[in-house]
């Protein structure tokens, strides 16, 4: 027997000429599913735009702080790029063999089942996605307001309101059209890459003039303590996070079996080279004390070298934040959409707009969660809670690749890596899980507690048979879905109608 919300979703609506709209759509042979509008170039922009956030402009000092020398820090940046490439290649295999949006959630669901996947989804919903987006929006607002208040702290309310406007504008853009979202991504990614090329060009010009005093003894004073080197590598790997962005929208890619791995192969070297050359430019112009004490390294760099053009750097940081937030909104909304489609979140989040073919309810839910986190005064502290969870689930998804090789050996795999790559990255992920436990035990345990708080929700909403679930929850789900469908002009996608949710199958 279909659930009440599915009956609601199948109701016909009338057009002005009295014709059933569902019949009209059938005549046009247009399937109700999100369109494949993300091209190869869009894919590269999504990955590069999410990986290169505000960090490389504002505070790339974590690696230098722990490595204690320019030479060792550059080696660690290169190692971070290499390890991240290993992870991205593993995701290329996973994304072409499991052609589903949702990235690590979809892969964990396929390999390890509903419970582990739900905990991963719960962590993202409750802490990872809204916190990340709130922090990016606040950083964007700070750099927009900073020129107006150059010598004092900008007003708290003004920053939060601008951050809210940023979130709302990008949510609206992505609700209206997928292409609008990808165009915003392309434009702002190009702009921030051009700004970084400007920084790199200044650094290379200084090197060409022979101004290399800071680099004459690059390994002098290098850290030898394994713990410090581990923390430096951890900082570098965290700066490279975001290479999985495209795997969240696999179902919307044109020819994902070809374009997903090519996008990854293009993006990873670009980001690694930009990170290395940008840091070299910083090291040539600024001494170590300036780098370690500056709250915004790129702005300090611009003040030293760009004279009247120094305004370019704050604008570039703001554009970088806008681009990073846009890609994060695209990825998170697809995660919640797929989670609802699999029966792990309220059914209303699995609806898509009838004309725009966008997951409007999931986008609005993501935007609302992020706006709520803007009300937290010290939202930056919340980042400390999810480092452990983030790397644990990335590692689990790649462990799932190894597991599926043995449990599903005949599964079609357009790309099949040597097992050396996933094994190395799993060991790397284990290291990334242990480091926050060692260096920030209390916050890591809080993050674990947040993840495990999803167990009661899983029991009530997923594990229990439908007839045994609380009647009030069923009524609330059906009623909410009905009115969201009518209010936002949404319907169940054909992909959902063609198959039962994986979560239901697993039971």
Instruction: Give pLDDT, residue 495.
Output: 55
Kindly tell me the sign of the dihedral angle through the C-alpha atoms of 319, 324, 327, 332: negative
Question: Which residues share a beta bridge with 352?
Answer: 491
Q: Given the structure tokens 């690590």, which residue do they identify?
A: 104
Distance CA 194, CA 190 (A): 6
Instruction: Give pLDDT, residue 12.
Output: 45
0.85 exceeded by pTM = yes
Tell me if 456 sits within 8 A of 462, measured CB to CB: no
The H or E element spanning position 491 is: strand 490-492
Instruction: Give pLDDT, residue 494.
Output: 63
Instruction: Give pLDDT, residue 505.
Output: 43
First to last CA, the chain: 16
Distance CA 83, CA 106 (A): 22
DSSP 8-state symbol, 146: G
Instruction: Give pLDDT, residue 421.
Output: 92
Kindly tell me the sign of the dihedral angle through the C-alpha atoms of 443, 444, 446, 451: positive
Residues 404, 408, 409: CA angle, nearest 5 degrees? 100
66 Cβ contact partners less than 8 Å away, ≥ 6 residues apart: 223, 228, 229, 231, 232, 235
Q: List the pLDDT tens digit at each of the 507 positions of the chain.
A: 344 444 344 444 444 444 454 444 444 445 667 788 899 999 999 999 888 877 787 667 778 888 888 999 999 999 999 999 999 999 999 999 998 989 999 999 999 999 999 999 999 999 889 998 998 999 899 888 877 877 778 888 999 999 999 999 999 999 998 899 999 999 999 998 999 999 999 999 999 888 888 888 888 888 888 878 888 888 888 788 889 999 999 999 989 989 999 999 999 999 999 999 999 999 999 888 888 887 778 888 888 888 888 888 888 888 989 999 999 999 999 999 999 999 899 989 999 998 888 999 999 999 999 999 999 887 777 777 777 788 889 999 999 999 999 999 999 999 899 999 999 999 888 888 887 777 778 888 888 898 899 999 999 889 988 888 888 888 988 899 899 998 988 888 765 444 444 444 444
Burial 359-375 (b: 16+ CB within 10 A, else e): bbbbbbbbbebbbebbe
Distance CA 272, CA 243 (A): 11
Distance of CA 50 to the CA centre of its chain: 7
Cα separation values, 111 from 97, 226, 408, Å: 12, 34, 10
DSSP 8-state symbol, 218: T
- Number of other CB atoms surrounding residue 151 within 10 Å: 4
Q: Given the structure tokens 């839910």, which residue do they identify?
A: 365
Distance CA 187, CA 243 (A): 19
Q: What is the pLDDT of residues 331-367, one digit of tens each?
A: 999 999 999 999 899 989 999 998 888 999 999 999 9
Distance CA 496, CA 11 (A): 16
């Amino acid at each position: 027997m279909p659930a009440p919300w599915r009956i609601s979703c199948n109701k016909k609506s009338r057009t002005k000429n009295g014709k059933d709209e569902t019949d009209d759509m059938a005549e046009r042979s247009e399937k109700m599913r999100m369109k494949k509008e993300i091209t190869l170039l869009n894919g590269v922009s999504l990955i590069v735009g999410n990986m290169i956030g505000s960090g490389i402009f504002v505070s790339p000092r974590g690696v230098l702080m722990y490595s204690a020398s320019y030479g060792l820090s550059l080696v660690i940046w290169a190692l971070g790029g290499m390890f991240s490439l290993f992870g991205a290649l593993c995701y290329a295999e996973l994304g072409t063999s499991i052609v589903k949006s949702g990235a690590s959630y979809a892969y964990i669901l396929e390999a390890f089942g509903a419970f582990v996947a739900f905990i991963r989804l719960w962590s993202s919903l409750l802490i990872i996605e809204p916190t990340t987006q709130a922090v990016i929006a606040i950083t964007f607002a700070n750099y927009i307001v900073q020129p107006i208040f150059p010598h004092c702290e900008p007003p708290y309310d003004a920053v939060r309101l601008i951050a809210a406007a940023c979130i709302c504008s990008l949510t609206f853009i992505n609700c209206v059209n997928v292409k609008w979202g990808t165009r915003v991504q392309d434009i702002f990614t190009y702009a921030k890459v051009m700004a970084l090329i400007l920084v790199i060009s200044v650094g290379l010009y200084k090197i060409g003039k022979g101004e290399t005093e800071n680099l004459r003894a690059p390994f002098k004073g290098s850290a030898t303590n394994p713990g410090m080197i581990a923390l430096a590598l951890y900082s570098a790997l965290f700066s490279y996070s975001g290479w999985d962005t495209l795997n969240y929208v696999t179902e919307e890619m044109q020819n994902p079996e070809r374009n997903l791995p090519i996008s990854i192969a293009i993006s990873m070297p670009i980001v690694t080279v930009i990170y290395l050359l940008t840091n070299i430019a910083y090291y040539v112009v600024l001494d170590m004390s300036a780098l370690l004490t500056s709250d915004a390294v790129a702005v300090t760099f611009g003040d030293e070298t760009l004279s009247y053009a120094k305004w370019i750097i704050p604008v570039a940081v703001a554009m970088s934040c806008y681009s990073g937030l846009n890609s994060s909104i695209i990825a998170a909304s697809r995660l919640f959409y797929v989670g609802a489609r699999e029966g792990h979140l309220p059914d209303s989040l699995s609806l898509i707009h009838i004309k725009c073919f966008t997951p409007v309810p999931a986008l609005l839910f993501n935007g609302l969660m992020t706006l709520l986190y803007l009300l937290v005064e010290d939202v930056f502290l919340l980042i400390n809670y999810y480092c452990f969870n983030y790397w644990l689930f990335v590692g689990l998804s790649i462990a799932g690749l190894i597991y599926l090789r043995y449990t599903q050996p005949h599964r079609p795999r357009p790309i099949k890596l040597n097992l050396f790559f996933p094994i190395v990255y799993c060991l790397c992920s284990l290291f990334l899980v242990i480091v926050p436990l060692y260096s920030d035990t209390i916050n890591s345990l809080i993050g674990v507690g947040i993840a495990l708080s999803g167990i009661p929700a899983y029991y009530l909403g997923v594990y229990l048979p439908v007839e045994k679930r609380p009647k009030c929850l069923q009524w609330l789900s059906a009623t909410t879905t009905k009115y969201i469908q009518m209010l936002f002009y949404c319907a169940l996608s054909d992909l959902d109608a063609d198959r039962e949710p994986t979560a239901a199958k697993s039971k």
